[in-house]
Structure 1
């Protein structure tokens, strides 16, 4: 039996309220993170993190804790607080209870593998973008911000043992995937769909917000593509879990490949941006479109997704 609506807030008000809730949770979690780091590591560690000075082994440990408390935790808590206490409908906004056929997970795996060339070409194009001369100051700031983010990422991805790999898979693969998908493909995509009345608009606006949120301007287009793919995975299945699985595969693959390269087990540099060619880029695009069509068909197939207790699963 379907629930009756529990709130009458307009989508615009929902969006503004969500931004306010997230901002409040974000500030609270950042204060918590700074206090924890100051108490256990000292204030100088915060300066070292800000300047990417990792000569002290404690700095990296503090960075992990700060990443969890100040970034991952608010991204998870903000959507939960909003859906639980503001709109009071966690099922519709978080999309964690919707069941789906496991075939979709296999399709997501193939989609993520096939998307690599398309991500590469978009990344190359994005890196080549140059702003007008009168915006040179902005461009310099963007490149400096990108460089700072790269230094922090490189520090986290510097792995010496299998335990380091496991920690990064948990942090970047599991926790980040769950938190970001619940926020962007759960709450925000739901609000945007109500607002625009168009599923494609809600997916790509949400994908743009997802990419902009990371503040890595020269990786905007490839991350937006991933956000768009994840958006369709949720829209077609009704569940957040296929998108979380795809996000996990993307991030965890980067972690594992980086470790294998660092240990000279493979020769392919994960930072190499000239692995594929134009025919492969086109092939990647075509296959992704075909696989998303197949994914949609499977997700909506009543034989694979039977009706239980009057409600369609998947």
Structure 2
């Protein structure tokens, strides 16, 4: 118990002595995690937006005009046999025309001269959640397009591919920038701790002479780095939350109101916890580098 108290008191003393070096370490870690947090919030909300829209995902199969009742029954059976298909709804040519007319109310002049009904019959196919990815939808559309009696298949492929690509790119960019800034934080923490180690060279040498273990010597510095990292990550969360609330106030909405969906939310709790843990890890590793380098000298 006395040893633990000594380690904690020593670490806190080192932080007070570090002055602007310690402030620089905490600030750099905070900036790093602010950037990472921004990317996490953006990609998280884009993912929520996609998830909400996935409930409305439908693959529309347009049928050939000359399809017979027997061919239609066989086609429905083939479509239903696809593992990705959750259910489907058939819309005849007449029903499709009536629906089109309802949607065009007030613009009836556009319907003049249509003559014979040009709108094809179709199957609106609902897809299982596990198949609501760009690649799975592409494969399903290709499979359905090869069936007899099918004229065309649409599933909003451009939108699905575009959003999926944007989310993937943002995650990669956020990871790359976060790693770069994390490395910078690691170096600054390491340099700050190294200054603290050199300032206590004589004390550390005495500890080594009286038989203090490497762990006993390293512990206060490791704790100092962990505290700096935790404070930096915590500061980043405070700044992120403040900016998040200010943004919502500026556009006068509450969380979840953007697009009328569950979008506009802050970081998921597990990401916030992971950021704090990662901050402590960065600080501890930076300290370990400096202390071990000194002890090996």
Which has a greater percent of helix? Answer: 1
Which has a greater percent of strand? Answer: 2
Q: Calculate the TM-score normalised by the size of structure 1.
A: 0.26
Q: Calculate the TM-score normalised by the size of structure 2.
A: 0.28
Q: Which has the higher contact order (CA 8 A, sep 6+)?
A: 2
* Higher Cα Rg, which structure: 2
